[in-house]
Amino acid sequence: MYVCLCAGVTDREIRKAADNGINSMRQLGEELGVGRQCGRCACTAREILKEARSPDYMALANRLAQPA
């Protein structure tokens, strides 16, 4: 789903950025442009980033990345 309409950024792109080491809204804004215009997406983007950086999510993502 689109999270930031101004920059055309989806939740999937935010999760991928988190997987690549982005861990703050400042970095997310610099990397993808999220929250840099109207700012309406900031709360949702922050929640997705927080969830994607949580230990439970990281463990699940690492487990799914392992070959079967």
- The residues binding ligand FES (CB under 6 A) are 4-7, 34-41
Q: Please identify, using beta-carbon distances, which residue of 12 and 39 lies nearer to ligand FES.
A: 39
Q: In the complex, what is the shortest distance from the CB of residue 67 to ligand FES, in angstroms, rounded to a whole number?
A: 37
Rounded to the nearest whole angstrom, what is the least distance from the CB of residue 54 to ligand FES in the complex?
A: 22
Structure tokens at 68: 């079967």
User: What angle, 0 to 180 degrees and rounded to 10, lies between the N-to-C axes of helices 25-32 and 42-52?
Assistant: 110
Contact (Cβ atoms closer than 8 angstroms) between residue 32 and residue 9: yes
- Minimum CB separation of residue 20 from ligand FES in Å reads 20
